[in-house]
Amino acid sequence: MPGQESRAEDAIRAAEHVAEAMIELWRRAHEEVAAAVSDQQMRALLVLEDGSGNPTVLAARLGLSPSSTTRLYDRLEHRGLVARVQSGRKVAVSLTAVGDRLLEATRRRRRELLSQALSAAAAADQPVLYEALEQLCTLVQDLPPAAPELTVADPGPQCPS
């Protein structure tokens, strides 16, 4: 039906605008808090925070070769954001307190920016907006994973559960 197709296209355009706005908000918070940390380094910190400190797993999640991942974590270690821990023949990478604080400061700034933006919505509209964003997040999370040949890197931050 033409009316339904039009509404679906409108929803797609609106979702694209939301995604673009969130990317801009993410970029702005990152630049304001941690401009000296590259996007790739920030992703690496987020991946590390989210799970395994095993270098092979980190490389796979970042979509990088093991040697590129090693160089990336070398730079982060030089900045004091990560530390390598030797356990027998294995090496694990972990966030330092400085790395934790950087991620938290970035999140705090992002939440401040989101709060500023969302507080402009009428109080009556805020619950509806919240529900729509939660539903969009759930729908995106339920999508099947990308084919391996199309996956360039980790998808980045996930919606809260």
Q: Mind listing the pLDDT tens digit for each residue in 72-118?
A: 999 999 999 999 988 888 888 999 999 999 999 999 999 999 999 88
**Prediction pTM value:** 0.75
The residue segments making up the domain with residue 27 are 2-141
Q: Is the residue at 152 inside a domain?
A: no
Alpha-carbon distances of 122 from 14, 50, 133, rounded to whole Å: 19, 35, 16
pLDDT higher than threshold 70 for residue 34: yes
Which CATH number characterizes residue 92's domain? 1.10.10.10
Alpha helices, DSSP H only, in 2-150?
2-34, 39-49, 55-62, 66-78, 97-119, 126-141
pLDDT higher than threshold 80 for residue 133: yes
Q: Is the residue at 154 inside a domain?
A: no
Q: Which is nearest to 26 in space by CA: 137, 89, 103, 101?
A: 103
Q: Is the residue at 159 inside a domain?
A: no
Instruction: Answer yes or no: are the C-beta atoms of 113 and 29 closer than 8 Å.
Output: yes
What is the spatial distance between Cα 21 and Cα 43, in angstroms, rounded to a whole number?
Answer: 19
What is the spatial distance between Cα 39 and Cα 154, in angstroms, rounded to a whole number?
Answer: 12
